[in-house]
Amino acid sequence: MSLSRDDVAKVATLARLALSEDELAQMTRELSKIVGFVSLLEELDTSSVEPLAHPLGTTNVFREDEPAPSLPVELAIATAPKQDGECFLVPAVLGD
């Protein structure tokens, strides 16, 4: 199985990656190889294998509903590229 240039361009858009035509060509080759490795599995008969939802065998890991202190606001927003002491600031998000 191989991916087309358009498949890769679409995934790049969804991932917010701006790729040049050269990069698109390179990614198309490399991603096709990865998909190719995975499609080796298609050679196996998996009809009697249960789907696996999680690699760990455990289930039902819960925590109790008990509050713990949150971060102070200064710390919460400290690493933001832009902030006003209260909120994270991002380029305008207008009504969509």
Partner 1 sequence: MPEPTDNAAPYTTVIGLEVHVQLLTKTKLFCSCENRFGAPPNTLTCPVCLGLPGSLPVMNREAFRLAVRAATALDCTIAEFTKWDRKNYFYPDLPKGYQISQFDLPFSEHGQLEAVDPKGAFEPRMVRILRVHLEEDAGKSMHDESAGTADSRIDLNRTGTPLLEIVSQPDLRSPAEARCWLGELRLLLVYLGVSDCNMQEGSLRVDANVNLHIPKADGSLAKTPIVEIKNMNSFRSVERALTYEAARQYEEWQATGKELGSAPKQTRGWDDAAGITRGQRHKEESSDYRYFPEPDLVPVTLTADEIAAIREGMSESPRALRKRLEETWKISAYDADVLVGQGRALVEYFETLARLVDDGKVASNWMQQDVLRTLNEQGITIDAFPVAAAGLADVIGRVKQGDFDTSRGREIFAEMIASGRSAEEVVAAMGIAAVGEDELLTLCRELVAANPKIVADVQSGKQQAAGGLIGQAKKKNPNVNPGQVRALCLKIISELPAS
Q: Which residues bind partner 1 (CB under 8 A)?
A: 14, 16, 53-56, 58-68, 70-73, 76-77, 82, 84, 86-96
Residue type, 9: A
Q: The tokens of 10 are what?
A: 């679409």
User: Please, which residue, 22 or 55, has the CB nearer to partner 1?
Assistant: 55
Instruction: Compute the least distance from the CB of residue 19 to partner 1, in Å.
Output: 16
Instruction: Compute the least distance from the CB of residue 37 to partner 1, in Å.
Output: 17
Rounded to whole angstroms, how far apart are CA atoms 86 and 88?
Answer: 7
Rounded to whole angstroms, how far apart are CA atoms 4 and 58?
Answer: 39
